Structure 1
């Protein structure tokens, strides 16, 4: 059994669709958008190239066809063996598809098409609908993470611009991805982790770095630093907590390092161990200690930790008039914190006269997992059908009971307008430039994008 059999990477009911189209259908066009309407450019398109390079280059083989036939017919579905063997023999196993898309990293409003796909072989008119499951899944998840990351960044930006000297640089380091263990699969960690890195420069999701490098030629470095966890700290025992911290300074103290300090009593750890016993050692090491007060109240704990460190290590006033802790110490809250919690922490710090630069945040499940396809209402819909004479017929749906699910009629293009990017019918494009461009045709990647380009567009 080939678990990556591309024929089986779809919904079971789709195997009957080759029998359901009107006679003499030779092509079907379909597009992907986020449903609804909005004046906000709040959706960041990302993830298509990773799918094209990781899945669409996988050739369908005769063994795949035979295996799929056995699996599909056993489930009571018809199987188009002739159609799939045509792909194997005529196209050497490459799916005959043409895909147009906006450049990745583009920000769009709801209702603006991001991707449009059509078959290039008349015998495979059923193929655009068949790949909906895999293609839509490949796009909605990383695009949603990228869009959510932009929302987080935009929500935090006012605090950093008001209280930090180098607001953009500090903001890019403010949110650390701790989400690898909180997702459902290796691939999800890779796609979501890469999407996070569009907006932020801190991660421990190594798979995200790997995906960004492999599929987008990313040049990434200095995204993490040595950090402890409870197991490595409690291994020393409660009576030797200070020794555990002292070892961290000896091993990593010349650079940036993070030490979880709430295994027993966070207030004692900061005021007595870090603030008295090890204060001179921390300073003499020359690096930066990041203290993590993870457990407990995610709003009160980091705020109190900053104030405690100010008392013991001191602070200076930055160019915006806010207090900045001694360069050798910072705080990171990495457990149980939400976007609203982060806003409350930064508001409290500002009220106490502290810069947002004093604290960072680690997010896990809320960053990569607590979202779904309906977060932005992603959908893929057929919009045109070509008959044997070469004429295109508009396809659309208009549910009388739910206007939100109405779809666009006719093949689409995307143009720049006074209000930003908007959809137009392809036949109405005229002399205007179509912002969607050819990215894939019959196994060939066109107009590849780099991660640096994606980041630049999204910013």
Structure 2
């Protein structure tokens, strides 16, 4: 599709609505408010994907590299019938004649944690006649960028929580954290691109992921190489259809067959197709020798009920249910007590829970395991669409707003500050300089062009070319700091 059609309809008339003589529009992309308790910084991520996929690939393939008459006629057909008018497409023809996008984007390095209300990047036109293009791109840019930033931020929060508890209860196993948060979200996301963008955000903080296309996407857009580095990974795992096909009456036989099928490595088996507690207290004891003699780990996966209660136990009249999965596995397979005094399960057995996990539930699981004397690293959490799809652009209040224009050769510092708003929508004013203060990024507005250029924002895209190209390894290092 012609990427100029990927916009909000009201953008079509804005070229004529700017004051006569407008030649320059300068805007910024900013997270304005956090709606998640405990998160005051947002991870910047996804711009390089947007630039490569849309500003370069799609604009070239579906606009600049096609005959002008073809793309202009198509554009005019849809806009004429949409607006019910004879739309003037002269500016579209002029853009095609130019042969590239006359846009400059200045940005922070991806993977940077940016405080709420601090801009992440700026967008401006590089040729005066294309002043209209800056904010025309807002819809597409916003549509693509908010989700990878949001998911990367939430994943970072999970990683921080899991790391904190691991340091408290199993510090010698801190490297396990990269696998403790596993992306289970793909099937529940709004589409494949949404899955990939969110999944890449998750993978900045974790290696565990079942969103397979993320590996290809990181190679395509972020210079990764799956043959030379760990991008994402997973293990052999069953689903309910496998267990059902083996029949309820012979569930233990299905377990035994799976252990024989995979004699080495990690094997995850969904265990609550019928009766989780029967699996834990009847089947696993009978399979104990096979499990302990196997060169690998059997991971028990329940995914129904309250994850906190299932994993950690709860106040229940049934003493088996009251213990929860981890304590029951300890009772049967034992383990070790580390030098911090916490129980670590036998490395031949483990657990994963992947249904309805949230930041709050992840925290509770870690807290309750710790309170019971178990290391938080005894369980892997499958983080799915219940975490990553239940978000919108407003989760962190993302918006792209113009703050400086030039009209008739005169610069104007512009801003918005609705009297009926609570202050969230108040924008910066004029050009912006980003700088570091006490280890955090801050901004100053109403600065000169020279002051702006002395700040942290660097030109990453200009006139159709990507000028700074980042890679997954560097971004992961950056976010880990």
Common topology (TM > 0.5): yes
Aligned with 1:408: secondary structure?
coil
| Counterparts of 1:39 and 1:383, CA distance in 2 | 29
Unpaired stretches in structure 1, ≥5 consecutive residues = none
Aligned residue for 2:256?
Answer: 246
Greater shift after overlay, 8-17 or 131-140?
A: 131-140
Q: Shift of residue 168 of structure 1?
A: 3.3
Match of 1:236 among 237, 243, 246: 246
TM-fit CA distance, 1:40: 6.9
* CA distance in 2: counterparts of 1:318 and 1:301, whole angstroms: 24
| Equivalent residue in structure 2 for 1:442, among 459, 463, 473 | 463
**7-16 or 300-309, which deviates more:** 300-309
How many residue pairs end up in the alignment?
Answer: 452
Task: Give distance in 2, aligned partners of 1:290 and 1:16.
Answer: 58
Residue of structure 1 equivalent to 2:147: 141
Matched, 1:265 2:265: no
- Structure 1 residue 147 displacement after superposition: 1.0
Counterpart Cα distance in 1 of 2:354 and 2:200: 19
**How far apart are residue 328 of structure 1 and its match?**
0.3
Alignment-derived partner of residue 44 in structure 1: 43
Change in Cα spacing, 1:98 to 1:332, as seen in structure 2 (3 Å) is same
Are 1:31 and 2:33 counterparts? no
| Whole-Å separation in 2 of the counterparts to 1:401 and 1:151 | 32
Q: How far 1:77 sits from its partner (Å)?
A: 6.0
Query: How big is the shift at 1:178?
Result: 0.4
Range 431-440 or range 30-39, more displaced: 30-39
CA 1:215–1:222: 2 relative to 1, 3 Å? closer
Task: Quote the Cα distance in structure 1 between the aligned partners of 2:41 and 2:190.
Answer: 26
Cα deviation digits, residues 166-195 of structure 1 (max 9, x gap): 353122221111000010111000100000
Give 1:400's match in structure 2, choosing from 406, 415, 419. 419
Alpha-carbon distance, 1:339 to partner: 2.1
Counterpart of 1:339? 359
8 A contact 1:349–1:355 mirrored in 2: yes
Is the alpha carbon distance of 1:105 and 1:88 closer, same or farther for their aligned partners in structure 2, counting shifts above 3 Å?
Answer: same
Task: Tell me the alpha carbon deviations over residues 175-220 of structure 1, each in whole angstroms, 9 at most, x when there is no partner.
Answer: 1110000101110001000000011111001122222221112243
| CA distance in structure 2 between the partners assigned to 1:451 and 1:27 by the alignment | 34
Does the 8 Å CA contact 1:41/1:107 hold for their aligned counterparts? no
- The match for 2:310 among 296, 301, 304 is 301
3-state DSSP class of the match of 1:412?
A: strand
Counting only pairs closer than 5 Å after superposition, residues 12-411 of structure 1 correspond to structure 2 as: 12-36=9-33, 42-57=41-56, 58-59=59-60, 60=63, 61=66, 62=68, 63-76=70-83, 79-90=87-98, 92=99, 94-218=100-224, 219-221=229-231, 223-274=233-284, 276-303=285-312, 304-389=324-409, 391-402=410-421, 403-411=423-431
Q: Retained in 1: the 8 A contact 2:432–2:452?
A: no
Task: Give the distance between the partners of 1:243 and 1:95, measured in 2 at CA.
Answer: 62
Q: What do residues 411-434 of structure 1 show as CA deviations (whole Å, max 9, x unaligned)? A: 212111236211124417649841
The one-character-per-residue Cα deviations of 1:234-290 (angstroms, maximum 9, x if unpaired) are 10111221121112111223101100011111111112112x221111111110111
Q: Give yes or no for contact 1:42–1:151 (8 Å, CA) kept in 2.
A: no
Aligned CA distance change for structure 1 residues 221 and 280 (closer, same or farther; 3 Å): farther
Question: 2:215 touches 2:231 (CA, 8 Å); kept in 1?
Answer: no
Contact 1:190 1:210 in 2 (8 A): no
Distance 1:39 1:99, change over 3 A: farther
Contact kept in structure 1, 2:39 and 2:157, CA below 8 Å: no
SS of 2:424's equivalent in the other structure is: helix
Choose 258-267 or 422-431, whichever is displaced more: 422-431
Task: Report the more deviating stretch, 31-40 or 332-341.
Answer: 31-40
Q: What are structure 2's unaligned runs of at least 5 residues?
A: 313-323
Measure, in 2, the Cα distance between the counterparts of 1:251 and 1:110: 50
How far is the alpha carbon of 1:41 from its aligned partner? 5.3
**Matches of 1:406 and 1:5, distance apart in 2:** 33
Q: SS at 1:287's partner residue?
A: strand
Q: Per-residue displacement from partner, 1:109-148 (whole Å, max 9, x unpaired)?
A: 1111111111112111100010000112222111011111
Q: Distance in 2 between matches of 1:24 and 1:39?
A: 46
1:158, CA displacement in angstroms? Answer: 2.6
| 3-state DSSP of counterpart to 2:456 | coil
